[in-house]
Structure 1
Amino acid sequence: MTIVLDGLAQGYGTSTIIENLSVTLRPGITALLGPNGAGKTTLLRTLATIMPPRNGRILIDDVEIDGERSARRIRDHIGYLPQDFGFDPQMKVVDFVTYAAWMRGIPSNRWREAVGETLEMVDLTDRRRSRMRSLSGGMRQRAGIAWAIVGRPRVVLLDEPTVGLDPRQRLQFRKIVAGLGETVVVLSTHLIDDVAAVCDRVIVMHGGVARFDGSVAELSTLGHDGLPGHSPLERAYMHLLPEGERSL
C-alpha cells in the first residue's frame, strides 16, 4: 500500500488548515508531531477519506480519492481511530469490535477469529462481555485501538492513541504497533518518547505545512543544548517551532 499526497490543501469553510502538502507514505510507522491546530487531525481525516481534498490530489494504491465513489473502493483497507471516537455505551466490547469488522468488510466467517485475536492484542479478552460504559478510560481507549486494527487493515490511522493509557499500557501499545508489519501506520501524538520508541519516520507540522519529514535519527540531530527539552528529540522538535513558541 502506498499513499501519495500531491500538493494537498485542506480546510473547513473559509479557513485553510493544510497548504500544499506533498508526501508519500509507505509501510512503516510515521508520527505526526505538532502543536494543536497544526493540521494533524485534519490530515488524518483526509487520509481516512472522510474529507476529499480541497486542492491537490490524494492517491491510495494509484486510486485517486476525489469523491465518495472512489473513497468507497479503499475504505475497507483503512482503520481509523479519531481522538474522540463514538460508541454505544450499552454495546459489549466484543460487539463493538465485531461491528468494526463488519464495517471493514471482513467476511462473517472470520469475525470470531479476527476479533478474538485483536482483543488479545489489546489485553481486553477478559472484558469482552463488558459493556463499553463500564470500562475505565484506558480500557475504552484500548477498545478503540482494537476497532482500528481488527482484521489487520493495510492502513492504520491513530489520533492521540495513547491518551488515557498508563505506562504499562503504553508499552503494550508500542508492542502492538511494532507488530503491524507491512502496514502504513500514521499516528498523531504529543508524546515524544512514543515517537522515539516505535516510529520509523516523523513529520513535524506547523501552520498546515510540513517543517520536517525524515527519520527519528535525522530529527534528533537538529536540537542543541540551548533549547528547552529533556532529550535530543524534544530539543529538535522545539527547534522546528517558531521562536515565539519555544518557551515553556
Structure 2
Amino acid sequence: MSVTIDKLAQGYGKTVVIDRLTLTLQPGITALLGPNGAGKTTLLRTLATILPPRFGTIRIDGIEVDGERGARRARDRIGYLPQDFGVDPQMTVSDFVEYAAWLRGVRSGQRWRSVGEAIDMVDLADQRRTKMRKLSGGMRRRAGIAWAIVGRPRLILLDEPTVGLDPRQRLQFRKIITSLGDAVVVLSTHLIDDVEAICDRVVVLHGGVAKFDGTVQGMSALGPDDLPGHSALERAYMHLLPESERRL
C-alpha cells in the first residue's frame, strides 16, 4: 500500500492552498504540522476524494484518482475523520459505526464483527446502544475514530482527532493508532507530544508547500536552543516558520 502525490495543486477560487506538492506515503504514521491555513485540512480532504485535484495526480494503492470513477474505486480503502463531523443524533454508536462499514464496502458477513472490534478499540463497548446525541464530546470524538478505522482501511486520515480527549483517552488513542501499522495513517495535529510519541514521519506545511519532510528525529535535530519551545521538536517547528511568525 502506498499513496503517491505528484505536483498536487489545490485551492479555492483564486486562492492557492497547496502549491505543487509531491509526497509518497508508505505504511506508518505521518504527522501533518503547520499553522492554521497551511493546507493540512485541504490536503486531507483531497486525499479523501472529497475535493478533486486542481492540478497534478494522486494514486491510492495504485488507483489514480482522476475523476469520480477513480474516486469511487479508492474510497473503500479510505477511512477519514474530519475535525468537525456531522452525525444523525438519533443513531446509536453501533448504527453510526456500522454505517461507516457499509459505506466502506465491508462485507455483510464481516460487518458486525468489524463494528464490534472498532467500538471495543475506542473503549465504547458499554455505550454501543447509546444515541449519538447523548454522548459527551470526548465520547463522540472516540466514536468518530471508530468510524475512521472500522474495517481496517488501508489509508486512514485523521484531522485533529485528539481534540476533546482527556489525557487517558489520548494515551488510548495512541495505542489504537500504533496498532494500525500496516496502514498509511496521516494525522493532522497541533499537539507536538502526540507527534513525538507515535509518529514515524513529519511533514510541515506552510504556504501550501512542504517546509520539512522527514523523520521525527531528523526534525528534532533542527531545533536551535535559542528559539521558544519546551522540546527540540517544538523548537524545530518554530525554526521552520518564517521569522515573522516566530514571535510569541
TM-score range, shorter chain: over 0.9
For residues 29-48 of structure 1, what are the structure 2 equivalents within 5 Å? Answer: 29-48=29-48
For residues 114-125 of structure 1, what are the structure 2 equivalents within 5 Å? Answer: 114-125=114-125
Q: TM-score normalized by structure 2?
A: 0.99
**Dislocated runs of 4+, deviation >6 Å:** none
Amino acid at match of 2:203: I
Tell me, in whole angstroms, the C-alpha distance in 1 between the residues paired with 2:213 and 2:66. 25
Gaps of 5+ in 2: none
Tell me, in whole angstroms, the C-alpha distance in 2 between the residues paired with 1:64 and 1:15. 25
Q: Could you report, residue by residue, the CA deviation over 1:189-218 in whole angstroms, capped at 9, with x for unpaired residues?
A: 000000000000000000100000000000
Bigger drift between 58-67 and 101-110 goes to: 58-67
After TM superposition, give the deviation of residue 116 of structure 1 in Å. 0.7
Bigger drift between 55-64 and 81-90 goes to: 55-64
- Partner of residue 241, structure 2: 241
- Partner of residue 98, structure 2: 98
Preserved contact between residue 2 and residue 27 of structure 2 (Cα < 8 Å): yes
SS of residue in 2 equivalent to 1:229: coil
- Partner of residue 145, structure 2: 145
Amino acid at match of 2:16: T
- Partner of residue 17, structure 1: 17
SS of residue in 2 equivalent to 1:35: coil
Tell me, in whole angstroms, the C-alpha distance in 1 between the residues paired with 2:181 and 2:14. 40
Kindly tell me the number of residue pairs found equivalent between the two proteins.
248
Tell me, in whole angstroms, the C-alpha distance in 1 between the residues paired with 2:117 and 2:56. 39
Q: Could you report, residue by residue, the CA deviation over 1:39-66 in whole angstroms, capped at 9, with x for unpaired residues?
A: 0000000111111110111111222111
Percent of residue pairs identical = 73
Tell me, in whole angstroms, the C-alpha distance in 1 between the residues paired with 2:61 and 2:41. 22
- Partner of residue 157, structure 1: 157
Tell me, in whole angstroms, the C-alpha distance in 2 between the residues paired with 1:54 and 1:111. 35
- Partner of residue 54, structure 1: 54
CA RMSD across the alignment: 0.6
Amino acid at match of 2:24: T
SS of residue in 2 equivalent to 1:74: helix
Tell me, in whole angstroms, the C-alpha distance in 2 between the residues paired with 1:87 and 1:32. 26
Instruction: Say whether residues 1:85 and 2:82 are aligned partners.
Output: no
Tell me, in whole angstroms, the C-alpha distance in 2 between the residues paired with 1:234 and 1:157. 23
Amino acid at match of 1:226: D
SS of residue in 1 equivalent to 2:237: helix
Preserved contact between residue 10 and residue 55 of structure 2 (Cα < 8 Å): yes
Tell me, in whole angstroms, the C-alpha distance in 1 between the residues paired with 2:73 and 2:115. 23
After TM superposition, give the deviation of residue 16 of structure 1 in Å. 1.0
SS of residue in 2 equivalent to 1:18: strand
Tell me, in whole angstroms, the C-alpha distance in 1 between the residues paired with 2:121 and 2:129. 16
Bigger drift between 53-62 and 193-202 goes to: 53-62
- Partner of residue 133, structure 1: 133
- Partner of residue 203, structure 1: 203
Amino acid at match of 1:245: E
Tell me, in whole angstroms, the C-alpha distance in 2 between the residues paired with 1:156 and 1:232. 28
- Partner of residue 182, structure 2: 182
SS of residue in 2 equivalent to 1:38: coil
Tell me, in whole angstroms, the C-alpha distance in 1 between the residues paired with 2:56 and 2:102. 32
After TM superposition, give the deviation of residue 28 of structure 1 in Å. 0.4
SS of residue in 2 equivalent to 1:194: helix
Bigger drift between 12-21 and 165-174 goes to: 12-21
- Partner of residue 8, structure 1: 8
